[in-house]
Amino acid sequence: QSVLTQAPSLSGTPGQRVTISCSGSNSNIGSTSVNWFQQLPGTAPKLLISTSNHRPSGVPDRFSGSKSGTSASLAISGLRTDDEADYYCAAWDVSLDAWVFGGGTKVTVL
């Protein structure tokens, strides 16, 4: 049972805009910023959106993050076949004094 809640899967067609949601609480997303990671099959996670809400060098601007209250979202615009991956949110939890992750959302491009 993950502390942050994500939908297990979602799908879209090439060129579409999809949004991945991450729900938390006042002790994590409500108090701190969110990291978003992309994990392609068989590879290590890769940072997409930093806790300072920046995209690291090399991450396309098709990926964008936002936050409202105790929820955060990752939007992917202009969906491509190579965006098929698992996407994870993470945030520091001030009560647990620990990083907490969402369970991951598997994005399928139809």
Partner 1 sequence: VQMEQSGAELKKPGASVRVSCKASGYSLSAYGFSWVRQAPGQGLEWVGQITVYNGETKIAQKFQGRVTMTVDSSMGTANLNLGRLKSDDSAVYYCARLHDADGMDVWGQGTTVIVSS
Of 17 and 96, which CB lies nearer to partner 1 in the complex structure?
Answer: 96
Residue closer to partner 1 (CB basis): 3 or 109: 3
The C-alpha atoms of residue 4 and residue 91 are separated, in whole angstroms, by 8
Q: Which residues contact partner 1 (rule: CB under 8 A)?
A: 2, 33, 35, 37, 39, 44-47, 50-52, 54, 56, 86, 88, 90, 96-104
- The distance of closest approach from Cβ of residue 55 to partner 1 in the complex, given in angstroms and rounded to an integer, is 11
Q: Which is nearer to partner 1, 10 or 47 (CB)?
A: 47
Min CB(24)–partner 1 separation in Å: 14
* C-alpha span between 85 and 76 (Å, rounded): 12
CA distance linking residue 70 with residue 62, whole number of Å: 24
Q: What CA–CA distances, in Å, run from 21 to 57, 92, 97? A: 23, 17, 23
